[in-house]
Amino acid sequence: MKRQLTVLLIALAAAGLLVTGRAQAAALVLTHFTLIDGSGAQPVPDSALVIDPSGRIEWVGPSTRLKTPGGADVTDLAGKYVIPGLIDDHVHLGLVHGLKQDVDFYTADLVQEQLKIYAAYGVTSVLVLGTDKDLIFPVRAAQRAGRPEAARVFTTGQGLVYKGSYGGVPKLNQPVATAAEARAAVDNQARKGVDLIKFWVDDEFGSLPVRMPADVSKAIIDAAHRQHLKAVAHVFYLDNARTLVAQGVDGLAHSVRDMPVDEDLLNRMRQHGTWQMAATLSREASFTYTKLPFLDDPFFSRSVSPAVLTVLNSPEHASQLAASPNFARYKPVLETALTNTIREVRAGIAYGMGTDSGPSARFPGYFAHWELQLMVQAGLTPLQALTAATGGNARFMGARDLGTLAPHKWADLVILDRDPVADIRNTRTIRAVYVAGRAVPTIWQTCVGRPDHDCNGGPDGP
Ligand SMILES: [Zn+2]
């Protein structure tokens, strides 16, 4: 037996498989930081954390009680803050090249590139809502079999769109016309191994002739539940939200945006345990500008190419947006979304954080930080917003080993220079990002589409 083991070790060493880097061999220890653990608990100063060689958290507690494992690699983080990796539970991947949107762009390489941008912003997990091609399943399988070097992906495959109504992307989502078709489509997605089921109920400001009828949404929700999957809905209108909540939908993927939520909806959501999984405030806010207000902010511009920046800065682009028939609608839409967000939070509705980033000009990663800022602007505390984006989202998605910094969870975490509880904008002071216990390049080490020296600014400012 012993001899067999020796032979095996020699064989592995010869194959170069035995020594694969320091991170594999030794524990990592972080000390003397302020811990914000994602559970909603108050920050704990002078904390320490041990990451085992497999990339999971082995221990977390006060620095004074730390027992440093032999040979561990210790980093003193005095003055820094550690939060769990952020989770964005409403994104789309692989749809955009520059500012052009076409599902034909969707490749494993583009998906991987965008997952790296998410991770650079400290967003270490994303949930894609309904616009993935099937190649997402091997991408996800490879991540789950090992230790990803980019954001983890959760997928709803192809979401369900009612024929003639709003939702999905051309050439990908096959519309359904009946409850029976909807049931078959849910079963088909379940067979592929989706994490949740997504569907759309909207008519884009009445510009389309129909919305998904109630018998079809009921069929989707029931079929999802039979498959032990949550069903989440794109909504816009209060009356649809009311029906869907009564039908047992598990999450609303946008705020109600046509009018203020009322006691009836709040009562139903509480009664059914429905989540406001995403408020997508950054989505609505982005539509209120003809020129986005952060184009000169290096925290943003590092993630986009100079060509994209040129377009976003151009007067032609601004006048194109101003001419869009829906442009003027979005200021009240944003106001309604902000008001409904805080009303739901105060009413005790469970909530997560999601941006709807990924379509053209809705930027991966940056929007998560903007979303947190807008949640605070709506009236949440910074700690509530951070908890939504970490422990809350993980709980909603059933991601048991993510979202909080506790023993046995993956060491997906972000080290910040300044206190995000004092000012939510401090989530941008990213010093390091870890996925499964390994550092990945941060946005401050990223400079898309140009040499590194052409990107200004670090976590301490431009
Ligand atoms: Zn979406």
pLDDT per residue as tens digits for the range 305-332: 999 999 999 999 999 999 999 999 999 9
Give the mean model confidence (pLDDT) for residues 209-215: 98
**3 band by pLDDT with thresholds 50, 70 and 90:** very low
Q: Are residues 75 and 148 in the same domain?
A: no
Q: Are residues 74 and 119 in the same domain?
A: no
| Among candidate residues 397, 415, 438, the one where a domain is terminated | 397
Q: How far is the CA of 418 from the centre of ligand 1 (A)?
A: 31
Q: Are residues 319 and 337 in the same domain?
A: yes
φ, ψ dihedrals at 461, nearest 5°: 120, 170
Q: How many folded domains does the chain comprise?
A: 2
Q: How far is the CA of 328 from the centre of ligand 1 (A)?
A: 21
φ, ψ dihedrals at 282, nearest 5°: -70, -35
Q: Are residues 151 and 229 in the same domain?
A: yes
Give the mean model confidence (pLDDT) for residues 170-189: 97
Note the pTM of the prediction, 2 decimals: 0.94
Q: Supply the CATH number for residue 91's domain.
A: 3.20.20.140
Q: Are residues 24 and 149 in the same domain?
A: no
Q: How far is the CA of 410 from the centre of ligand 1 (A)?
A: 27
Q: How far is the CA of 379 from the centre of ligand 1 (A)?
A: 24
Q: How far is the CA of 91 from the centre of ligand 1 (A)?
A: 6
- The residue that leads in pLDDT, 178 or 452, is 178
Q: How far is the CA of 254 from the centre of ligand 1 (A)?
A: 8
CA dihedral 142→191→128→361, nearest 10 degrees, is 110
Q: pLDDT digit string (tens) for 337-369? A: 999 999 999 999 999 999 999 999 999 999 999
Q: How far is the CA of 276 from the centre of ligand 1 (A)?
A: 14
Q: Are residues 412 and 311 in the same domain?
A: no
Q: How far is the CA of 118 from the centre of ligand 1 (A)?
A: 16
Residue 276 lies in a domain: yes
Q: Are residues 121 and 177 in the same domain?
A: yes
Across 180-244, the runs of DSSP E, i.e. the strands, are 197-200, 231-234
Q: How far is the CA of 192 from the centre of ligand 1 (A)?
A: 20
Q: Which domain holds residue 322?
A: 86-397
**C-alpha dist (Å) from residue 34 to 60, 67, 421, 424:** 12, 18, 11, 15
Given a cut of 90, is residue 1 above it in pLDDT?
A: no
pLDDT at 55: 98
Q: Are residues 108 and 231 in the same domain?
A: yes
Q: How far is the CA of 191 from the centre of ligand 1 (A)?
A: 22
Q: Are residues 16 and 108 in the same domain?
A: no
Q: How far is the CA of 202 from the centre of ligand 1 (A)?
A: 12
Which tokens is 339 given? 């008001």
Q: How far is the CA of 403 from the centre of ligand 1 (A)?
A: 22
